[in-house]
Structure formats: C-alpha cells, structure tokens
Structure 1
C-alpha cells in the first residue's frame, strides 16, 4: 500500500463550517474515515464486505470514504444521499480520487433503496448520520438535525434489517439508548474508535447547546463545557463475535455503567 493512501490524509483541519453550502469539519471526517478503515480491515473475518461490498447512508461530499476506498483495494461502496447537490459533489470527489469503479453514489432515500426489490442487498452499512439533538429542525443547518435525542437515524438503521453497522455515535445523543435498542435487535459491539471533539458552530447554537445540557442532565448523554466524544463503532449480529464491548464503549463516551 502506498503510504500516502491512508484515510487520515484529508484536507487540513478547520473549524466546522459551511463551504459552498456543504458542512465541513475535517477533523471529524478524518476520525470517521480512519475508524471505518480500521474496523473494516480488522474485522474482515466477521463482516463480509469483501464479498458483498457495503452500503452507505448519506455520502455527503464523499471526501472521507473516497480516501478509504482508495486505501482498501477490495472495498466497494454504494452510497445514497437525499441531497442532489451532495450527490453531484460526491461524484466529482470520487472521480478526482480515482475510485469511480468501486464507489458509486445515487440520489434518493437510503431506506427506500434498502427496501426496494431491485436494490442490491448487502449486509453492511456505514454511516456518519446527522446527530445534533434539538427540539425541532429549525437550526442554523437543518440537515444536521438528528431528532429530539439526536439518534433518530441510528435507530432507524438498527431496525432496517442489516447485520453489520459501522456508525458514528456521539456522547451527547443518547448513546446508551441507542445501544439498548441495538441489543434488542441482536447487535453487539465488536469494537470502536473514540475521539474527543470541541463543540463547533452548530453545537454552540444556543438552542442546541441548551437542549444538550437538558439531555445530559437527564442522563441521556455526556458533554463537557465545550467538548464531547464521538466513537466510530462496529455493531454486528455475527454469531462469531466472541466479546461484546458495549460497556467499554459507554465508558469511552463518558457514560456511567
């Protein structure tokens, strides 16, 4: 492998912001990309991504995962994004990185695609879904709203019939509730990669910050004065998994267990 082909070689880190109408947080993107690359390759014996490929919920501009596909020659990704402008941007990114033969993105609703008879069925999904918790979606950037607890899309994924999920779980979006539903659906935590992040422009929006404070006071998550933790976790229903690391994941997210 060319040492330059690593998931963490993304554009220089910057504060989260909107660039040309797109959300940009290079630090979080690099963490997500590296977590996906590490967990897929480490657990290739449990997750059949080499044979089936993987599906992706919400490709965005595709910068992070395009670099993962480039770094992992056996990886094939079929992405779906509900935003037409994001799909156009993603396709430009994929062409630029040179992985269009193994990474495709289509415009549409991921769950409709997953339920369609014509959709190619795979058992593995990767996702860094919108996870800002707030009372409603009238935010500085509505596309980042994840529902009241911030985990609406994560819960939908858990119930969508897939067997392996590689998903980003933030500490302030009711991770214990998410993992409880995961256990009910037969998932266990194979492993994870956690990283501390500072609040950005959208987390600091007063409406969002006050809601996060309310949720954490209720025991629905954790956040510091201006920080939180995001873990990229592999949840699987594989019967071959020998150890469930759900407790360790909650500890890494600063939740009591």
Structure 2
C-alpha cells in the first residue's frame, strides 16, 4: 500500500531542488533577457512553481502559455497562479502541447520528461523520456522555435542530444549546470538499471549518487553569437 507521501509523488511531480534550479535557469537565461512584447511557451508546467518563482523574482511583464497533461497538476498550478495574482502572466492549458494549436512565441521552455526506461510503466509515466531519455526533447527541437531552453540530464544521452540539436540548426548559446542527487523518480530500479546500461555505452555520465542537470539555451544558428557546445559536453562528461 502506498503511503500518502508516495501517492502525492505519483500524482504530481515533486522535486524542490530540481524545480528551484529550473526556476533559476528560466529567470537567468530567458526572463532577464526578454522584452515585454516577447512571448514564451512551455511544455509541462507541472504544479507551476518554477515559472511562478521566476516571474516573481524577475518582475517580468511577459505572458507565458503553459501546457500540462496532468489534470491534478494543472489544478494545483492554477490555484497558485491565482494566489500570486499572475493570471494575466501565466496561462496554463490542460491539454497536449504537441496536439494543440500553440500561440506564436520567441522562446520555448521546458523541463521535459527525461527519465530513460525501456517503456513508460514507471512511477510517473509522463516523466518517461524514451529509451535514452531525450525523445521528447528532440521532438521539441523539430518545432523550429528561435530559442529553446530545456533541462538536460547528464544520464540521458546529453551528447546525442547536442549532436541532434546541431542537425536542426541550433547552437548552444548558454547553459547553467547544477549537481543533483538521485531522487524518488530517478532511483526507481527500472530507471536506474537503464541509466547503468547507458553508462556502459558511454551515453550516461553520473556517479552512484550524483548526476548533473543543465539548463541549456539552444538558439537558432542565425541568431546565436557563440556556440559553446564543446564546453557543455566537457562539463556533462565530468562525472564519467
């Protein structure tokens, strides 16, 4: 029988350390560089905490349209949005990002599903990122947004993702990295076993307890001033 805490973790994604880091990346790499007229679109809003925190700290006047499939998470997010008076700045749609007509946007942002596993029968199926953890992120890079901020895990084939981004005419224009400990979702045996398989194939980089999470800003080649892909790869491989 699940404890109440375990049930909550299965109902709505909950990892304060990761959410706080995502919020910091949003604020530092996107919101602090946005003009008031620039719009932002988000895949996977969760309970809304990261965007809410970054909006409050940055005092941005822009509008972010989020898409979240989890109805419970969407309800929790909208409750927080109303509480903080951000209803005009953060609008969450409880429907599929990929199957919806989406507003035009200068930035696409996401902490996408990146748990690697052979199938999605894991604690939270919506966190499944494919067999190497980058399936959803690669799909985001096919949508041709000018700027894409995504969270990239060192245990989810980061080099493969960077190489794929290059084929889609994206440069790595900026990134921020933080070490995180394996948590409730990434420690699930099915996920952890797949991570070790990827590590044997030089597609995952982590220690027994620590992995690196990077907030990576991909920018279309004609807009990027510099490409720091090599530096990002070196950092992600540092736990090899």
Structure 1 length as normaliser, TM-score?
Answer: 0.85
Quick check: 1:57–1:126 contact (8 Å CA) kept in 2? yes
For 2:16 and 2:7, locate their aligned partners in 1 and report how far apart those are by CA, in whole Å. 10
CA distance in 2, matches of 1:202, 1:86: 17
For normalisation by structure 2, the TM-score amounts to: 0.91
Residue matched to 2:46: 60
What do residues 7-64 of structure 1 show as CA deviations (whole Å, max 9, x unaligned)?
xxxxxxxx9994582121101111110011001145x2xxx66323100001110011
Q: Do the aligned partners of 1:111 and 1:160 also contact (CA within 8 Å) in 2? A: no
1:32 has 2:18 as partner: no
Which segments of 5 or more consecutive residues in structure 2 lack a partner in the other structure?
none
1:153 to 121, 136, 141: 136
Q: Distance in 2 between matches of 1:159 and 1:20?
A: 30
1:159-215 CA deviation, whole Å, 9 max, x = no partner?
A: 012121010000011111111110011100111110001111222222211110010
CA contact 1:151–1:173 (8 Å) conserved in 2: yes
Q: Deviations over 1:66-118 (max 9, x none)?
A: 111222323320111112222111100111122111110011111122xx3xx
93, 107, 111: which one pairs with 2:98?
A: 111
Structure 1 position 71 matched with structure 2 position 60: no
Give the SS at the match of 1:112. coil
Structure 1's 199 and 210: CA in aligned 2 closer, same or farther, altered over 3 A? Answer: same
User: Which stretches in structure 1 are left out of the alignment for 5+ residues?
Assistant: 1-14
Cα distance in 2 for residues equivalent to 1:85 and 1:203:
22
Q: Is residue 212 of structure 2 the alignment partner of residue 226 of structure 1?
A: no
C-alpha separation in 2, matches of 1:227 and 1:17:
25
Kindly indicate whether the alpha-carbon contact (under 8 Å) linking 1:69 and 1:76 is maintained by their aligned counterparts in 2: no
1:186 corresponds, among 165, 169, 172, to 169
Residue 99 (structure 1) aligned with residue 115 (structure 2): no
The total of aligned residue pairs comes to 234
